[in-house]
Structure 1
Amino acid sequence: MASRNWIPIRAAQGAHSRQAHADLPEGTYEREVSKEGFFGPASFLHHKHPPTGWVKFEGPLRPRAFDLARLNAAEPSPWAAGKVLFNAAVEIRFWKLASAMPNLARNADGDQLLFVHEGEGELFCDYGRLAYRPGDYLYLPRGTMWGLKPSTPNAILMIQATNSHFGLPDKGLLGGHALFDPAMLETPVMDAAFRAHQDEPGEFTVEIKKQDEVSRVTYPYNPLDAVGWHGDLAPVRLNVTDLRPVMSHRYHLPPSVHSTFVADRFVVCTFTPRPFETDPGALKVPFFHNNDDYDEVLFYHAGDFFSRDHIEAGMMTFHPSGFTHGPHPKALKNMLKQPKPATDEYAVMVDARDPLDVGEAAASVENPGYVDSWKGA
Structure 2
Amino acid sequence: MKLTNESSLFPLRKGRVTRQAHVDLPEGTFEEEFARQGFFGRTSHLYRTHPVTAWTRIEGPLRPRSYDLNRLEPGGPFEPVCFLRNEDVALHWVAPSAMDFFYRNADGDDVYFIHAGAGRLETTFGVLDYARGDYLVLPRGTTYRFLPSAGPQAYLLIESAGEITIPDRNQLGPNAIFDPAMIDTPDLEPPAEPDREWAVHIKRRNAITRVYYPFNPNDVVGWKGDLTVWRINVKDIRPVVSPRYHLPPSAHSTFLGRNFVICTFLPRPFEEEPGAMRVPFYHANIDYDEVLFYSDGHFFSREGIGPGMVTWHPQGIHHGPHPKAIPASRLKDRTDEVAVMVDAFHPLEATPAAAAVENEAYWSSWK
TM-score band (shorter)? over 0.9
Aligned to 2:255: 261
Q: Would you say the 8 A contact 2:5–2:42 is kept in 1?
A: no
Aligned to 1:88: 87
- Which amino acid counterpart does residue 335 of structure 2 have in structure 1? T
Aligned to 2:298: 304
In 1, the alpha carbon distance for the partners of 2:75 and 2:324 equals 35
Q: Which of 355, 361, 366 is equivalent to 1:363?
A: 355
Residue 226 in structure 1 maps to residue 224 in structure 2: no
Q: Cα offset for 1:6?
A: 6.8
Aligned to 1:75: 76
Residue 37 in structure 1 maps to residue 38 in structure 2: yes
Q: Would you say the 8 A contact 1:285–1:307 is kept in 2?
A: yes
- Which amino acid counterpart does residue 338 of structure 2 have in structure 1? Y
Aligned to 1:346: 338
Q: Would you say the 8 A contact 2:7–2:42 is kept in 1?
A: no
Q: Which of 174, 177, 180 is equivalent to 2:178?
A: 180
Q: Cα offset for 1:211?
A: 1.2
Residue 328 in structure 1 maps to residue 329 in structure 2: no
In 2, the alpha carbon distance for the partners of 1:196 and 1:7 equals 55
1:147-296 superposed matches below 5 A: 147-152=145-150, 153-162=152-161, 164-190=162-188, 194-197=189-192, 199-296=193-290
Task: Could you tell me which runs of 5 or more consecutive residues in structure 2 were left unpaired when the two chains were aligned.
Answer: none
Aligned to 1:23: 24
Q: Cα offset for 1:196?
A: 4.6
In 2, the alpha carbon distance for the partners of 1:115 and 1:200 equals 30
Q: Cα offset for 1:367?
A: 0.5
Q: Cα offset for 1:73?
A: 3.7
- Which amino acid counterpart does residue 266 of structure 2 have in structure 1? T
3-state SS of paired residue (1:333): helix
Q: Would you say the 8 A contact 1:28–1:49 is kept in 2?
A: yes
3-state SS of paired residue (1:332): helix
In 2, the alpha carbon distance for the partners of 1:56 and 1:321 equals 18
Q: Would you say the 8 A contact 1:35–1:41 is kept in 2?
A: yes
In 1, the alpha carbon distance for the partners of 2:229 and 2:94 equals 19
3-state SS of paired residue (2:354): helix
In 1, the alpha carbon distance for the partners of 2:119 and 2:200 equals 20
Q: Deviations over 1:235-255 (max 9, x none)?
A: 001111110000100000000
Q: Would you say the 8 A contact 1:203–1:221 is kept in 2?
A: yes
In 1, the alpha carbon distance for the partners of 2:208 and 2:302 equals 38
Q: Cα offset for 1:132?
A: 0.4
Task: Could you tell me which runs of 5 or more consecutive residues in structure 1 were left unpaired when the two chains were aligned.
Answer: none
- Which amino acid counterpart does residue 358 of structure 2 have in structure 1? E
3-state SS of paired residue (1:37): helix
In 2, the alpha carbon distance for the partners of 1:271 and 1:155 equals 19
In 2, the alpha carbon distance for the partners of 1:207 and 1:160 equals 16
- Which amino acid counterpart does residue 361 of structure 2 have in structure 1? G
Aligned to 2:131: 133
Q: Deviations over 1:215-247 (max 9, x none)?
A: 010101101111111111110011111100001
Aligned to 2:310: 316
Q: Cα offset for 1:339?
A: 2.8
Query: What percent identity do the matched residue pairs reach?
Result: 51
Q: Deviations over 1:289-337 (max 9, x none)?
A: 11210000000011111111010000000000101100011202314xx
| Paired positions, count | 362
In 2, the alpha carbon distance for the partners of 1:333 and 1:157 equals 32
Q: Cα offset for 1:200?
A: 2.2
- Which amino acid counterpart does residue 264 of structure 2 have in structure 1? T
In 2, the alpha carbon distance for the partners of 1:96 and 1:226 equals 27
4+ residue runs of structure 1 moved beyond 2 angstroms?
4-10, 72-75
Q: Cα offset for 1:5?
A: 10
Q: Would you say the 8 A contact 1:82–1:359 is kept in 2?
A: no
3-state SS of paired residue (1:12): coil
In 2, the alpha carbon distance for the partners of 1:360 and 1:184 equals 39
Q: Deviations over 1:151-189 (max 9, x none)?
A: 033111111111x10000010000000000001110001
3-state SS of paired residue (1:291): coil
3-state SS of paired residue (2:95): strand
Q: Would you say the 8 A contact 1:82–1:360 is kept in 2?
A: no
In 2, the alpha carbon distance for the partners of 1:276 and 1:75 equals 43
TM-score, structure 2 normalization: 0.96
Q: Would you say the 8 A contact 1:109–1:142 is kept in 2?
A: yes
- Which amino acid counterpart does residue 90 of structure 1 have in structure 2? V
Q: Would you say the 8 A contact 1:120–1:154 is kept in 2?
A: yes
Q: Would you say the 8 A contact 1:74–1:95 is kept in 2?
A: no
- Which amino acid counterpart does residue 227 of structure 2 have in structure 1? L
Q: Cα offset for 1:83?
A: 1.0
Q: Deviations over 1:187-229 (max 9, x none)?
A: 0012xxx3251x4231110000111111010101101111111
Q: Would you say the 8 A contact 1:75–1:81 is kept in 2?
A: no
- Which amino acid counterpart does residue 65 of structure 1 have in structure 2? S
Q: Deviations over 1:115-163 (max 9, x none)?
A: 111101000011111000011100001100000000033111111111x
Q: Cα offset for 1:72?
A: 2.7
